[in-house]
Amino acid sequence: MGRVVITHSTYVEGLIPLLKRLAQVPGIGTITPAVISRVRGHSPALRLRVSTPITGGHKLVARRGTSAQEVFVVTDWSRERLQELVDQLLEN
């Protein structure tokens, strides 16, 4: 069971509860939300996409409204398996 690192005061709306559910899945280690930024597009619902591999895991990008936030996940899972899990959590 992993853990979510809470270091900032601002997060994309709805992100932290989703990350806490993700951290409860065996095989998922530390989850660290990082830089939040403004984007030109608009995403009415929360979306989370596996972006690039990093040492020991993957970088994800969370989007909602006109905000985007990087999320780093430590895991040995493949990109496809992690994206499937994230999609399942977003549906619930």
Q: Mean pLDDT per 10-residue run, the chain (92 residues)? A: 86 94 96 94 94 96 96 96 96 86
Report the alpha-carbon angle 67-69-74, nearest 5. 165
What does the pLDDT read at residue 15?
Answer: 95
At 78, the amino acid letter reads S
SS3 70: strand
End-to-end CA distance of the chain: 20
The count of structural domains within the chain is: 1
Distances (CA, A) of 84 to 1, 5, 23, 37, 44: 18, 22, 15, 25, 21
Q: Containing domain of residue 18, as a range?
A: 3-91
What does the pLDDT read at residue 3?
Answer: 94
Q: Are 90 and 82 in contact (CB under 8 A)?
A: no
Question: How far apart are the C-alpha atoms of 84 and 14, rounded to whole Å?
Answer: 19
